[in-house]
Structure 1
Amino acid sequence: MTSFIAIAIVAANGVLGDGEKQPFEFAEDWARYKRVTLGHPMIMGRRTHDAIGRFLPGRTTIIVTRRPETVEIPDGVDAYAVASVDAALDLAASLDDVVYVAGGGEIYRQAWPRLTELDLTEVHAEASGHVTFPEIDPTRWVETRREPLGPFDFVGYGQLATRGEQS
């Protein structure tokens, strides 16, 4: 079974950014992001990809955009452009059993029903911006780990079993 994992840095008020950049950057977060996503497919929207500014090495990048034919993928880069989140999730699942969904807000919302885990950097400060992470419903998600690091925590969430899955 494929693990679909949302990975994000989220302000205390749920803000991811302003549509062009994220409000927080921590060296520890970037190092961890690289370590956990390396070798796995990453799904992101066109604006998130443009904000990063490059294809990240060592990962298959799947860009979701209304116009996939406009995405320029350099020779030798392991990347795809697709027209829907479902197409991206299906493609990624055919490549690996661990898939990261890397934003932005609308991509997380569309992937939400298929996500199995959340891997968040929860910042202990609010930020301004209109792009937000979906609300984490405690009837669906349970915290599985927390690593406090001063101004932020690395936090993992897993799905609670639904009634039909409980033994």
Structure 2
Amino acid sequence: MHEPELVAIAAVADNGVIGADGGIPWRLEGDLPRLKRLTMGHVLLMGRRTYDSLGRPLPGRTTVVLTRDPDWCADGVLVAHDLDAALALAAEAAPGRIVWVFGGGEIYRLAWHRMGRLELTEVHRAPQGDTTFPAVDPAEWAETARETHDGFDFVTYVRR
């Protein structure tokens, strides 16, 4: 069985912030419909804190939660304790589907070198926050699409 395609999806402020106190420090019209359109029918890979902030699996997607806690479980999700196990669960549960790396910051960093694409909402604000996204280095990532909106852009990057 080959490793599934890994793609990051995130809304990232100009200062790199993606979260504050277990939530997102903004609401953007159009961002959630895009997220749903891109991820529907695929796999969402997230950390336990990100899952807890949602409180439930998102409908129409397979949810894999990566946690260090050997006793953690939740209805309707698959649980893994390392990235390789998470990817194996995803490949078994949803063969041929994209694994969308959904956060938080630790999970993005853990999967960073295995991802080939980033689907970002670049938010033109600089809020305070406690969770950040890795810096997108232009030497490593090429921008291939940009859709400009009022206060944010949808941007696609592919690994060079």
* TM, length-normalised to structure 2: 0.92
C-alpha distance after superposition, 1:23-64 (max 9, x if no partner): 122231011111110000110000001111211010000001
> 47, 65, 68: which is aligned to 1:66?
68
State the secondary structure of the residue aligned to 2:110: helix
C-alpha distance after superposition, 1:52-102 (max 9, x if no partner): 1211010000001112432121xxx3x201111232123223423411000
C-alpha distance after superposition, 1:115-136 (max 9, x if no partner): 0100000001111112100011
Q: Does 1:136 align with 2:122?
A: no
Q: Does 1:32 align with 2:34?
A: yes
**Which 4+ runs in 1 deviate beyond 4 A?**
none
Name 1:150's counterpart in structure 2: 150
* TM, length-normalised to structure 1: 0.88
Q: Does 1:84 align with 2:82?
A: yes
State the secondary structure of the residue aligned to 2:84: helix
The sequence identity of aligned pairs, in percent, is 48
Distance 1:101 1:19 in 2: 20
Contact 1:42 1:62 in 2 (8 A): yes
Contact 2:105 2:132 in 1 (8 A): yes
Name 1:164's counterpart in structure 2: none
Distance 2:111 2:145 in 1: 22
Name 1:122's counterpart in structure 2: 122
State the secondary structure of the residue aligned to 2:14: coil
Distance 2:88 2:26 in 1: 31
Contact 1:68 1:81 in 2 (8 A): no
Q: Residue type of the partner of 1:30?
A: L
Name 2:9's counterpart in structure 1: 7
Name 1:103's counterpart in structure 2: 103
Give RMSD over aligned pairs.
1.4
Q: Residue type of the partner of 2:54?
A: I
Distance 1:136 1:68 in 2: 32
Contact 1:42 1:60 in 2 (8 A): yes
Distance 1:51 1:114 in 2: 25
Where do 5+ consecutive residues of structure 1 fail to align? 161-167
Q: Residue type of the partner of 2:10?
A: A
Where do 5+ consecutive residues of structure 2 fail to align? none
